[in-house]
Structure formats: structure tokens, C-alpha cells
């Protein structure tokens, strides 16, 4: 069992030819909505690979909340840890996609901002039976802290995806087995501007040193991922594809990477698998809607593609 503690957002997409300047109004097209949120996306990715997964999070008692929970329920995700708040809207993300597949995202956290340390502690029994526990920074700091602390105490593989970026005390890093930021998050967390592999290596080292114990994976979008572990420090290339929408690709990477680690794969192999999963995700639109099955990932890997994949979204 893998447990994900994190956010639910209904993603509202609009496509634009280019991003508007401040104060400018432009025409967009192809409005659509689909379940997202970093936590829910990561849980969905684990479930699509056929691994047992539980989700802890908060939604509003509204139609978006129902739809998002139903999307995970359809894959058999354990939802006992999901709370419904009567007095606040579900999380919502406004996502603007430009013609090159780049995105800008504004999130109204809504119910995600109500997740308490008590909501996490209530699920202590789930932590005890989880092989790995993943959290991000898209709910509350109290929830993230309680998750990392409890996960460490339970002896589960403790994984922090520091997204979206917020300052993280070194003590939190010391509870982690894995820290998995993208380039931007690694830059802000480490104070070292990540512009490629060499700077990703320096940022990973910085985080590893501050943690004292964690392994680090810095996702590099189309360039794959930089791994820093005692056994291997180096680059794993992505898989070259034509990206149409990178939203959720980073979450796909994390769900797939942790799944393979829990299944016993070593980090390099897990990273190759996760890069292949993320590469498929960027060729499809939407967050959860873009996440592949295990058979699709295995087919992608056996087709021998090289280079794109850690994912940014
Ligand atoms: O990581 C992608 C997710 O970030 C989107 O699904 C959106 O909800 C934002 O939270």
C-alpha cells in the first residue's frame, strides 16, 4: 500500500495562442475541466499502475468534490482518509495552456487549506500498513509536517515532493527518504539556480546534505531526471516525444517512481520507468486523464524511445 497525502483540484483549462500580458484580455478556446490536484494525481498514477493506494485529503461538499472523489474511487483508491467540508469550495485550478504546450496555473486551494494535523493523525493505522507515504506542499504546512513526522515514525518510505514551492525547515528534510523537486523547486529550496544537469547535481547535493539522509531526484522536464543516492549519482534521460500538455507529468513521474521503488526496483530502474510514464502523460491532455497504465508504460519502454520525461506540471 502507498498512501498519498495531498490536494484535490478541479482543473479548468483554456487554450490560448499566447499568454496575455498584465491587464490584457485575449480570446481562448476549448474550455474543459478535469480532476487534478497534485496529491490526487499522484494517487491516480499509482492506481493506474495497479498498485494499492490510499488518499488522504479534503474536498468541499460540492459537485467538483464528488466528481474528483469518484474519479479515484473508480480505480479502487482507498478514500477513508478523505474529509468533506460543508463550508468551503473544493480546490480549483485555472490552467492556461499556450500553443507550445506551456502552462500557467493559478490554484484556489479551497478545502485543501483546511486539512489539519488531526486529520492526518486520525489515519495513523493507515500509515502503519503503508510501505511508502508521499506528500506535497499543496495542502497546509501542518498537514505536511504531521505527514512527514508520522511517516518517519511508522518506518514507511517517506517521500516529499516540495510542490508548489514553500520554504521547508531542514528538520522536515531530515524525516525524508526521498526529496523529489522539479528544477524550479530545487532552485528555491537549495538557493542554487538549476539550469541543467550540473546545477541539478549541486542542488541535489545541497538537499542531501541538509537532510542528512534523503536520496534526491531532481526532475528536469524533457531532459529526464538527476538522481543523487549513495549507490548512484547521475543523469537518467527522458523519452523523446511531442508534448501537447505537461500538466500532471511531474505527478505521473512521482507516482510511478515510488510505485517501482516499493516493488523493489533500484532507483535508476524506477527512474527510467517513471520517465517513460511521464513521457506518455505529456502526449495527452489533462492531468489524471493523461496518466498511463502499466501496460502502456511497458510498451513505451520496450519500444526503446530515448529522451523526455521527468515532467514539470
Ligand atoms: O501538478 C499538476 C497539478 O497542479 C494540476 O492538476 C493542478 O491542479 C495543480 O495543482
Full residue range of the structural domain in which residue 293 is found: 2-6+37-89+112-302
How much is the mean pLDDT over the chain? Answer: 95
Average pLDDT over residues 273-293: 96
pLDDT in tens, 129-174: 999 999 999 999 999 999 999 999 999 999 999 999 999 999 999 9
Within a domain: residue 21? no
Establish if 243 belongs to a structural domain: yes
Is 272 among the domain residues?
Answer: yes
Q: What is the pLDDT of residue 99?
A: 87
The question of whether 113 is a catalytic residue gets the answer: no
Residue 15 lies in a domain: no
Task: Name which residue leads in pLDDT, 308 or 125.
Answer: 125
Position 313 scores a pLDDT of 46
Q: Binning pLDDT at 50, 70 and 90, where does residue 309 land? A: very low
Which of the listed residues 4, 44, 251, 282 should we mutate to test ligand 1's pocket, taking the one with most ligand atoms within 8 A of CB?
A: 251
pLDDT bracket for residue 244 (50, 70, 90): confident
Q: What residue ranges line ligand 1, CB within 6 angstroms?
A: 7, 9, 11, 36-38, 41, 93, 105, 107, 138, 247-248, 250-251, 287, 313
Q: What is the number of structural domains in the chain?
A: 1
pLDDT (0 to 100) of residue 101: 75
What is the grid cell recorded at 108?
484556489
Its sign, for the CA torsion 109, 114, 117, 119, is negative
Q: Which percentage of the chain shows pLDDT scores above 90? A: 92
The average pLDDT across 54-71 equals 98
Q: What percent of the chain has pLDDT over 70?
A: 97
Between the CA of 165 and the centroid of ligand 1 the distance, in Å, is 13
- Ligand 1 pocket mutation, candidates 287, 288, 311, criterion most atoms within 8 A of CB: 287
Q: Is residue 20 part of a domain?
A: no
The three cell numbers locating residue 246: 505537461
- CATH code for the domain of 209: 3.40.1190.20
- Give the pLDDT band (50/70/90) at residue 276: very high
H-helix segments, 1-79: 38-48, 63-73
- Assess if residue 181 is contained within a domain: yes
Residue 217 resides in a domain = yes
Exposure letters 255-276 (e unless 16+ CB within 10 A, then b) = bbbbbbbbeebebeebbbbbbb
Give me the pLDDT at residue 259, please: 98
What pLDDT is attached to residue 304?
A: 67
Task: Tell me, yes or no, whether 134 lies in a domain.
Answer: yes
Amino acid at each position: 500500500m502507498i498512501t498519498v497525502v495531498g490536494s484535490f483540484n478541479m482543473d479548468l483549462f483554456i487554450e490560448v495562442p499566447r499568454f496575455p500580458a498584465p491587464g490584457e484580455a485575449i480570446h481562448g478556446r476549448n474550455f474543459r475541466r478535469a480532476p487534478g490536484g497534485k496529491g490526487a494525481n499522484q494517487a491516480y498514477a499509482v492506481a493506474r499502475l495497479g498498485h494499492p493506494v490510499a488518499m488522504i485529503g479534503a474536498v468541499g461538499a460540492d459537485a467538483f468534490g464528488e466528481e474528483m472523489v469518484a474519479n479515484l474511487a473508480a480505480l479502487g483508491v482507498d478514500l477513508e482518509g478523505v474529509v468533506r467540508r460543508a463550508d468551503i469550495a473544493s480546490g480549483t485550478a485555472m490552467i492556461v495552456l499556450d500553443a507550445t504546450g506551456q502552462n500557467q496555473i493559478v490554484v484556489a486551494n479551497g478545502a485543501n487549506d483546511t486539512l489539519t494535523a488531526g486529520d492526518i493523525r486520525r489515519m495513523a493505522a493507515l500509515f502503519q500498513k503503508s510501505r511508502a507515504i508521499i506528500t506535497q506542499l499543496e495542502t497546509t504546512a501542518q498537514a505536511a509536517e504531521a505527514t512527514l513526522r508520522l511517516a518517519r515514525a511508522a518506518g514507511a518510505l517517506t517521500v516529499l515532493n516540495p510542490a508548489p514551492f514553500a520554504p521547508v525547515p531542514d528538520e522536515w528534510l531530515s524525516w525524508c527518504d526521498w526529496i523529489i523537486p522539479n528544477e524550479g523547486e530545487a532552485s528555491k529550496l537549495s538557493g542554487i539556480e538549476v539550469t541543467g544537469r550540473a546545477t541539478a547535481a549541486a542542488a541535489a547535493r545541497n538537499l542531501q546534505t541538509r537532510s542528512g539522509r534523503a536520496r534526491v531526484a531532481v526532475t528536469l522536464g524533457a531532459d529526464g531526471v538527476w538522481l543523487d543516492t549513495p549507490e548512484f549519482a547521475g543523469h537518467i534521460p527522458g523519452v523523446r516525444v511531442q508534448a501537447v500538455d505537461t500538466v500532471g507529468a511531474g505527478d505521473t513521474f512521482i507516482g510511478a517512481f515510488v510505485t517501482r521503488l516499493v516493488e523493489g526496483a533500484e532507483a535508476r530502474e524506477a527512474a527510467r520507468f517513471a520517465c517513460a510514464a511521464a513521457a506518455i502523460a505529456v502526449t495527452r491532455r489533462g492531468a489524471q486523464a493523461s496518466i498511463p497504465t502499466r501496460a502502456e508504460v511497458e510498451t513505451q519502454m520496450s519500444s526503446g524511445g530515448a529522451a523526455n520525461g521527468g515532467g514539470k506540471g
